[in-house]
């Protein structure tokens, strides 16, 4: 395929063309030429529209594909289509399927299904069998078979010995452990953030302490491993990654750990930057998520964590749920929001004065570094993994290509529109 992107503004801090408006010629999956007023043959496809921006392709570190086992909620094909619509060229899928991605057979199934899709699909394989938190999987075999990271996904590791030994296994091979911090004994039967609002609504609360205790525990265990293990190679990036942090104290704990030099990183779900616990006053089950929406002060702290670099990545935490799982009383409904198609628009619509380049770094360079993926940059001769977007365009999110519809944003007009992606030489989803 030959494609010319005409008069696009480059947003890529690693590129010599960062901030410039220029033409990009893509030929056979590579950026062949960058310049102004490039002349091309008539058979070259040209994308030319006002205020078009381009960046290296975005990656989402936390996606529940629901395939295999729950294909009525989502499957690999539909989740990849939703990711491309949302501007992503790569996604990391969680192991919480049926059967779980806990062996090379299931990992191979995902890898085969991912072939020919409009996005690259990477797998976070399970740490424990069935992601149940009991017995270890063959992590080293899975690592060599192509698992990009290890996580029990939506199931936080409760056993400290399991987490400790996982860090010890992964440290010598430069692997990555991704854990969602939650002491589940403190959140049992919880429905929302514990606070004034949960009391007013009569819903059992999930205390911030449940997340913060686990982060403190995991950091202590990480410190212990680094002090006792001897490896010829230091971690290239993070050894321990906290998924979907949600409280001010969590941000501060990770900030202090980074200052001490610990190889730790974290991400935040985009919806945590938009809502606080007062949003649940209407008992909308599409707003029921875990971790729950916290206080307004917590939301402000999350934005500050993005600003100062404590929070490394922004994720969708895409969790498809069918109508039967959501159209229930609030305390009976399942947790989760679909979010692949709206990550960028929510960041633009609700941005608290963070520069565009800094927000995109949380979707591009930094997560790729954490995941040990090759860096992408917009230069001649480099692979053309690109996202095209207009940060100022208004559009209405009136339909989803996901199989599930559990989004609180359907019907809303948002700012920041994805125009398309270029992945493996193919142009996908032109708005």
State the pLDDT confidence band at 235, using cuts at 50, 70 and 90.
Answer: low
> Residue with structure tokens 């010599």?
16
Nearest to 263 by CA among 176, 150, 162, 372: 176
Helix (H, G, I), strand (E, B) or coil at 62: strand
> Of the CATH numbers 2.30.40.10, 3.40.50.880, 3.40.1280.10, 2.40.110.10, which one belongs to the domain with range 2-53+382-402+410-428?
2.30.40.10
Dihedral Cα 336, 337, 338, 342, nearest 10 deg: -150
Q: What's the rounded Cα separation, in Å, for the pair 391 and 52?
A: 8
- With 90 as the cut, is the pLDDT of residue 34 above it? yes
Q: What's the rounded Cα separation, in Å, for the pair 120 and 414?
A: 27
Output the DSSP codes for 386-405: EEEEEEEEEEE----SSS--
Residue 162: predicted pLDDT: 97
Query: Do 2-53+382-402+410-428 and 57-370 have matching folds?
Result: no
Average pLDDT over residues 280-308: 98
- With 80 as the cut, is the pLDDT of residue 330 above it? yes
- With 90 as the cut, is the pLDDT of residue 234 above it? no
State the pLDDT confidence band at 41, using cuts at 50, 70 and 90.
Answer: confident
Respond yes or no on whether the N-terminal peptide bond of residue 68 is cis (omega within 30° of 0): yes
Average pLDDT over residues 412-417: 98
CATH topology of domain 57-370: TIM Barrel (3.20.20)
For the chain, domain boundaries: 2-53+382-402+410-428, 57-370
Among all residues, which ones are annotated catalytic?
A: 317
CB-based contact 262:235 (threshold 8 Å): no
State the pLDDT confidence band at 223, using cuts at 50, 70 and 90.
Answer: very high
Mean pLDDT across the chain, nearest whole number?
96
Full-model pTM: 0.96
Residue 232: predicted pLDDT: 56
pLDDT tens, residue by residue, 68-88? 999 999 999 999 999 999 999
State the pLDDT confidence band at 430, using cuts at 50, 70 and 90.
Answer: confident
pLDDT tens, residue by residue, 368-389? 999 999 999 999 999 999 999 9
CB-based contact 61:363 (threshold 8 Å): no
pLDDT tens, residue by residue, 186-211? 999 999 999 999 999 999 999 999 99
Residue 236: predicted pLDDT: 61
CB-based contact 245:212 (threshold 8 Å): no
Residue 1: predicted pLDDT: 79
Strands 30-35 and 21-27: antiparallel
Respond yes or no on whether the N-terminal peptide bond of residue 124 is cis (omega within 30° of 0): no
Radius of gyration of the chain (CA): 21
Residue 415: predicted pLDDT: 98
């Amino acid at each position: 395929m030959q494609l010319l992107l005409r008069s696009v503004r480059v947003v890529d801090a690693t590129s010599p063309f960062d901030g410039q408006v220029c033409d990009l010629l893509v030929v056979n999956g590579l950026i062949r030429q960058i310049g102004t007023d490039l002349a091309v043959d008539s058979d070259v496809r040209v994308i030319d529209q006002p205020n078009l921006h381009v960046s290296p392709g975005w990656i989402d570190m936390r996606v529940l594909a629901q395939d295999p086992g729950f294909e009525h909620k989502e499957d690999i094909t539909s989740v990849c289509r939703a990711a491309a619509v949302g501007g992503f060229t790569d996604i990391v899928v969680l192991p919480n399927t049926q059967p779980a991605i806990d062996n090379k057979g299931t990992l191979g199934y995902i890898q085969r299904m991912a072939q020919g899709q409009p996005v690259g699909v990477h797998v976070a394989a399970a740490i424990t069998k069935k992601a149940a938190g009991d017995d270890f999987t063959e992590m080293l075999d899975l690592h060599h078979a192509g698992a990009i990271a290890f996580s029990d996904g939506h199931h936080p590791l409760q056993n400290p010995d399991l987490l400790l030994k996982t860090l010890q296994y992964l440290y010598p091979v430069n692997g990555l452990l991704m854990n969602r911090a939650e002491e589940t004994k403190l959140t049992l039967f919880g429905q929302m953030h514990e606070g004034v609002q949960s009391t007013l609504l009569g819903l059992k609360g999930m205390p911030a302490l449940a997340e913060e205790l686990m982060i403190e525990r995991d950091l202590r265990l990480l410190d212990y491993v680094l002090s006792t293990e001897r490896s010829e190679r230091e971690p290239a990036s993070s050894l321990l990654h906290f998924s979907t942090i949600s409280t001010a104290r969590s941000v501060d704990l990770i900030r202090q750990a980074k200052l001490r030099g610990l190889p730790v990183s974290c991400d935040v779900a985009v919806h945590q930057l938009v809502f606080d616990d007062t949003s649940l006053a209407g008992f909308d089950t599409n707003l029921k998520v875990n971790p729950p929406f916290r206080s307004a002060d917590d939301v402000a702290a999350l934005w500050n964590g993005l600003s100062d670099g404590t929070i490394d990545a922004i994720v969708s935490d895409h969790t498809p749920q069918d109508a039967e799982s959501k159209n229930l009383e609030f305390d009976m409904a399942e947790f989760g929001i679909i979010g692949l198609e709206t990550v960028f628009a929510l960041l633009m619509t609700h941005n608290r004065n963070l520069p565009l380049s800094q927000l995109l770094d949380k979707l591009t360079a930094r997560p790729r570094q954490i995941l040990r993926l090759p860096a992408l940059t917009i230069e001649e001769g480099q692979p053309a993994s690109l996202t095209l977007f207009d940060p100022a365009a208004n559009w209405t999110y009136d339909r989803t290509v996901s199989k599930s519809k559990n989004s609180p944003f359907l019907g809303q007009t948002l700012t920041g529109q994805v125009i398309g992606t270029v992945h493996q030489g193919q142009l996908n989803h032109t708005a």
